[in-house]
Structure 1
Amino acid sequence: MGSARIFLAEAVGTAILIIGGVGTAVFDGDKAGVLGVALAFGLSLAVAAYLIGPISGCHINPAITAAMAVVKKTDPRLVPAYVGGQVVGGLFGALLIWSIGQGMPGFTAVGVDGQKNIVSVSEAGFASNGYGIHSPDHYNLGAVMLAEVVATAVFALVVLGTTASGFPAAVGGLVAGAGLGLVHLVTIPVSNTSVNPARSLATAVFQHGWALRQVWVFIVFPLLGGALAGVAWMTLRRAHEAAAVAASAEPATVAARD
């Protein structure tokens, strides 16, 4: 795969994720609610997977690229093309949302100032991720860090599972989308759900305030979660392979005894 093709495919896929997921949160978050936003992110990933999956594998998330690199399913030399495309695509998607929003009277990407509880994803400021007073339910930094690591690791394991030999490729996009929707259902109240540094950076740039000061959390800890998922996946695979070897050797041992 050429790096230019990967860059372009990942940019298109990430833009779709941002437009579908973040766009729903920004424009219709109050009406759609947590369930609707989670569904929008999941469907957006599924659509992108079937569109660009044959070209780049549809990572559209630096944390997934990290997991794929750890398990050696992605050439390390192509990581810059993957991540570069994801960042550019995320920013482009966010720019489209921001531009459309300018046509609505009173639209703002800033959100509330922390003087009252954030009661909807739209009030978080361009659907940005945050902790403390910028968390939807005011979760502290430690809770947000843990939630992002665990949620990203779970999601990355789901994605890795869809790439395993023998997994039906035809449903891979749907399963990955369901996984993303699930972690959103759990963690939207905690951090507005990142699990994707490109998504967090894109919204933080247009919120252009507190979100940029807090975005490091949503870069570092999703990447950590993705890497941990890669390590866990390799450990599980080795254990499975060892068990398979032992099982295949057992009949021969029994026969030798007979």
Structure 2
Amino acid sequence: MTKFTVYIAEAIGTAVLVIGGVGTAVLAGDDVGTTGIALAFGLTLLAMVFVLGPVSGCHINPAVTLAFLVTGRMTAARAAGYAAAQVIGGLVGALVVYAMATGRPGYDRTVDGLGANGYGDASAGTYSLLAVAIVEIVATAILVLVVLGVTGPHSVAAAGVPIGLTLAFVHLLAIGVDSTSVNPARSIGPALIAGGTALSQLWVFLVFPLIGGLVGALAYKAVLPVDAVAAH
């Protein structure tokens, strides 16, 4: 295994997460509904943790990588490489979803979007920026706290199960608010392709999930200040 394998794994994992989650929202959202989309994200992450966890830890989320950096499990250089790989993977995944969506007669990315996140008029429930910020911070903090907990000194063998279930839960919480980000790499690709409002509001889904990741990391350190896990 080369030193670049972990970055390839993070890119692949993020691409698959976007294809599985965003793809379900775009291609089958009307059929499966909120619960189906939430399960698609959660089950995709669950599978990726089992497949890629032994390779890279399967962060596939810059907010999770930030938390690993803050808790001392990862160097800054490695974290930067992870984040870059995740963004690239997310964009590739979004391009794949877009290629699939264009096969539907009448699809228009400027009208139908690509599962991008948004607030105000771009929110499914027209939620305010403040509401979206709170949801993203809280939901991401919960996800990160679970990830750190099940991969820490008292880790469980089937870590993918609680991680995947948590991602499904936070999607059930937030889909109706802002289509759920909790992951900047998940948000970047769809926003770049959709353009317009999705792109102008992208900063929200970079800033607040990262703040949530930091909050989750600090909460974890407050509960378990001694972390014996070696850095990935």
Question: What TM-score do you get using the length of structure 1 for normalisation?
Answer: 0.85
* Compared CA separation, residues 239 and 8, structure 1 to 2 (3 A): closer
Task: Give matches, 1:90-169, under 5 Å.
Answer: 90-111=90-111, 123=112, 125-169=113-157
What secondary structure does 2:189 align onto? Answer: helix
Deviations 1:48-107 (A, max 9, x none): 111111111000000000111111112222012100110010000111111112211111
CA distance, structure 2, for counterparts of residue 31 and residue 144 of structure 1? 25
What secondary structure does 1:72 align onto? Answer: coil
Cross-structure match for 2:175: 188
What secondary structure does 2:139 align onto? Answer: helix
What secondary structure does 1:165 align onto? Answer: coil
Give the partner amino acid of 1:192.
Answer: S
CA distance, structure 2, for counterparts of residue 154 and residue 3 of structure 1? 31
User: How many residue pairs align between the two structures?
Assistant: 227
CA distance, structure 1, for counterparts of residue 3 and residue 138 of structure 2? 30
Greater RCO structure (CA 8 Å; 6+ sep): 2
CA distance, structure 2, for counterparts of residue 238 and residue 43 of structure 1? 30
CA distance, structure 2, for counterparts of residue 32 and residue 92 of structure 1? 24
Task: Give matches, 1:238-257, under 5 Å.
Answer: 238=225
Question: What TM-score do you get using the length of structure 2 for normalisation?
Answer: 0.94
Cross-structure match for 2:29: 29
CA distance, structure 1, for counterparts of residue 198 and residue 71 of structure 2? 32
CA distance, structure 2, for counterparts of residue 177 and residue 29 of structure 1? 19
**Residue 176 of structure 1, CA deviation:** 0.3
* Compared CA separation, residues 149 and 2, structure 1 to 2 (3 A): farther
Residue 48 in 1 paired to residue 36 in 2?
no
Match of 1:210 among 197, 210, 215: 197
Identity rate, percent: 46
**Residue 167 of structure 1, CA deviation:** 2.3
